Structure 1
């Protein structure tokens, strides 16, 4: 039953990606788009891939810095390989990569999965802060383009949304009541839950996860940590910008347009589809149209930017997977008194 559920989930995500790609390509002149791709300067694409590789290395080092306060000291190679295999897994099933990379560090360094997952949650939260900062800069420098985009996007849907507000309010009230009931039940039966073995396991898991989440506050070199964070997002901006120069239709766009495309593309990649296929292309194409770029050229840009970075993830992810599988599994140490697993550093 679990396998059937996984297959259905994978198929639904894949079907959504295929539909979105069809929707993005359905009205394009393929001959014109092919001409755009033939005119591309692939030296800029190679530079974009090199910048992407540097961003992954910096991100892996930053993740290593997050993990260290938990008491586990994984090598940079193990951290990097786990992260890249996780990104590779995300191309198969959205959000599966977060679990995969935590499981790999459990295999190579005995890092508890809950602590590892907590560091990933903290990493995602930091990325959200950086994305919001980029959105703020986009509104500051490109307000007219962004305003026109959203006005055109929502003008036709406003009336239908206005009619649905009463239903949304009612749904919100029911959700609040449901949450209140669950909290009340939890308070009434708290004493019994404390003695429940499964509840104790959940509490231990959550404690470990929280330790991972708040590991950011315990990083010794905060300057280096936030320096890597800024460096990563500057490289993301750079990978977006240099692909502009690969196509004649986008080579004259200002740097601020690259910021807008970065935000749109990141939001497209965040959608629950394999590798952002379809959602990224639609978001980027629609954004470039605001700057007068023809749809065919906008799609050519999206295909070049997305395909090159996806190819980079596939190559690096496969190599990391091979290296990880060749490494021996690290044995779990046991205490003499309780036979509970411990890490060598905790002896």
Structure 2
């Protein structure tokens, strides 16, 4: 039953991607979109793929620094391969890639899953703060234009929420009441719960998770960590900007437009769908409309950019998957040999 629910959940998310993609393509000239894609200068896309690969190497080093702050010493390539396997998994299982890459790193480098996952959570929080800053910068650069754009994106949802304000407040109050009741019961029965093995394992997991989350406070070189963060987002920006030159329709767009595409495209990639499919395309197309780029040209740009990056993740993630499986096999054999040696010694 659990497996059936999991399959149904991911099937529903895939269907949502399809609906978003259909909405982005609805009423457009598909032959014109195809012509834009055929006439694109793909040498610029190759350059963006090279930059993207450098960004992945930088992100892996940043994650390694967080793990080292938790007194762990995984090898760089173990960290990198685990991260890329996670990105590959996200193309099929939205948001599960973070858990999968931590599991891979446990098998290849012995890093506890909870500590690695805590570091990933901190990484995501930092990226969210950067994204919030980029959104603010985008709005400030062209406030009137993009304020209208943001309002148009969220006005319908806001009106729908406002119409059910009383119901939402009641639900929020009930949730707070239940949370308070749960906290009280947990506090009253803490000693009794600690006598149970499951609760002890859960407590150990949470402690390790928090250790990974707060590992950022113990970084040996915080300046280098910030440099890697800045470099990663600079790479994202340059990818969007350089891709403009692949299409005659977008060649005249400037740095402000690239910042807007980066910001709203990132929101699309953050959507809980496979690889941002549909959500990314719709957000980028809508952003380019603000700059006078037609829907067909905008969706062609989004398709080519997203497609090239997806291809890169498949290639790099596939190599990392093979490397990780080989490494985990060697580690398992090594552990088995050590167990046999200890058994023979004791006997």
1:260 maps to 260
**Structure 2 CA distance, aligned partners of 1:96 and 1:289?**
33
Query: Residues 153, 106 of structure 1: CA spacing in aligned structure 2 closer, same or farther, 3 A cutoff?
Result: closer
**Structure 1 CA distance, aligned partners of 2:67 and 2:335?**
18
Match for residue 329 of structure 1 among 322, 328, 331: 331
**Structure 2 CA distance, aligned partners of 1:238 and 1:186?**
50
Give the superposition deviation at 1:58: 0.3
**Structure 2 CA distance, aligned partners of 1:332 and 1:192?**
36
2:112 maps to 112
**Structure 1 CA distance, aligned partners of 2:281 and 2:155?**
22
| Larger CA deviation: 79-88 vs 165-174 | 165-174
Q: TM-score, normalised by structure 1?
A: 0.92
Give the superposition deviation at 1:27: 1.2
* 1:238-269 deviations in Å (ceiling 9; x for gaps): 11111111111111111111111111111001
Please list, as runs of the form range in 1=range in 2, the aligned pairs for 1:126-141 lying within 5 A after superposition: 126-141=126-141
Higher normalized helix content (fraction of residues): 2
**Structure 2 CA distance, aligned partners of 1:130 and 1:332?**
42
* 1:185-241 deviations in Å (ceiling 9; x for gaps): 112222212322221111111111111111111110111111000010000111111
Q: Which runs of 5 or more residues in structure 1 are unaligned?
A: 334-338, 340-347
Query: Residues 206, 148 of structure 1: CA spacing in aligned structure 2 closer, same or farther, 3 A cutoff?
Result: same
| Larger CA deviation: 293-302 vs 8-17 | 8-17
Matched, 1:233 2:233: yes
Please list, as runs of the form range in 1=range in 2, the aligned pairs for 1:41-60 lying within 5 A after superposition: 41-60=41-60
Q: Is the 8 A contact 1:244 1:250 kept in 2?
A: yes
Calculate the aligned-residue CA RMSD, in Å: 1.9
Aligned length: 336
1:342 maps to none
1:65 maps to 65
* 1:85-135 deviations in Å (ceiling 9; x for gaps): 110001011011111111111111111111111111111111111111111
Query: Residues 153, 225 of structure 1: CA spacing in aligned structure 2 closer, same or farther, 3 A cutoff?
Result: closer
2:143 maps to 143
Q: What's the secondary structure of 2:247's corresponding residue?
A: coil
1:2 maps to 2
1:36 maps to 36
**Structure 2 CA distance, aligned partners of 1:120 and 1:151?**
32
**Structure 1 CA distance, aligned partners of 2:159 and 2:75?**
56
Q: Is the 8 A contact 1:284 1:298 kept in 2?
A: yes
Q: TM-score, normalised by structure 2?
A: 0.92
Q: Which runs of 5 or more residues in structure 2 are unaligned?
A: 337-341, 343-347
2:250 maps to 250
Please list, as runs of the form range in 1=range in 2, the aligned pairs for 1:1-347 lying within 5 A after superposition: 1-155=1-155, 159-327=159-327, 328-329=330-331
